[in-house]
Chains A and B, each alone.
Chain A
Amino acid sequence: KQEVTQIPAALSVPEGENLVLNCSFTDSAIYNLQWFRQDPGKGLTSLLLIQSSQREQTSGRLNASLDKSSGRSTLYIAASQPGDSATYLCAVRGQGAQKLVFGQGTRLTINP
């Protein structure tokens, strides 16, 4: 059974820092991995989708990498801003499945 872990559960950094969020998964037989952002009391916003054949994806200040063989993904946020404060979730889609398996998320706070 696929399990997805995100460490740390919470992270607080000063504005302007570059930071890395981690995601690990137990079964490397995945089709893709998706990173989401969730603001308090709101739905999920898709940030990046990495296919299993890709190593990384970039969108603006965000860069996500995937190492399928080691079961790890990272989300790199450059030049963090207070508006980046949110919970970040990663989710994987296993081979032959349509559903996503989610991690518990990392709650990120950027201090002005």
Chain B
Amino acid sequence: DVKVTQSSRYLVKRTGEKVFLECVQDMDHENMFWYRQDPGLGLRLIYFSYDVKMKEKGDIPEGYSVSREKKERFSLILESASTNQTSMYLCASSLSSGGSYGYEQYFGPGTRLTVT
């Protein structure tokens, strides 16, 4: 079974702090994704990575950065946390799709981040 793990289930940080969210997958997937989920707004893509050290901005990258130094690990960084970044953060991974064939995305359990 594919396993995607996230470093924390719950996190409370203060405004202005630098925050690291870690995600690890154990299935040698090329693609990894970071989403945030908010009531009424659904899931929105922040960043994704298609290979080590490669990344692309998603729909809402402002205020975030990412790091992928190893294939299995994808980190989301909040450089200076703000209250509007309070949210559920979900990490996902998948094999890289070839041509018109797509593979499933597998999600981690999520990190509920509160910024006060």
Contact = CB atoms under 8 A, between A and B. Distances in A.
Given A98-B97, A102-B42, A104-B42, A49 B102 contact: yes
Interface string A88-112: 0101010100111011110000000
Interface residues of B, number: 27
A32 to B, nearest CB: 4
Given A99-B45, A103-B42, A105-B42, A45 B107 contact: yes
Contact of A31 (B102, B106, B109): B102
Interface string A62-98: 0000000000000000000000000001010101001
A102 B45 CA distance: 10
A52 interface: yes
A49 B102 CA distance: 9
Contacts of A46: 104-107
- For chain A, give the interface size range: 20 to 34
B104 A34 contact: yes
Given A41-B112, A102-B42, A103-B42, A32 B58 contact: no
B58 A99 contact: yes
B50 interface: yes
Interface in A1-59: 31-32, 34, 36, 41-46, 49, 51-53
Contact of B100 (A41, A95, A100): A95
A91 B106 CA distance: 13
Interface of B: 4, 31, 33, 40, 42-43, 45, 48, 50, 58, 90, 92, 94, 96-97, 100-110, 112
Given A98-B97, A102-B42, A32 B112 contact: no
Contacts of B40: 104
Contact of B109 (A42, A53, A93): A42
B107 A43 contact: yes
A42 B103 CA distance: 22
A34 B101 contact: no
Nearest to B35: A102
Given A99-B45, A104-B42, A51 B101 contact: yes
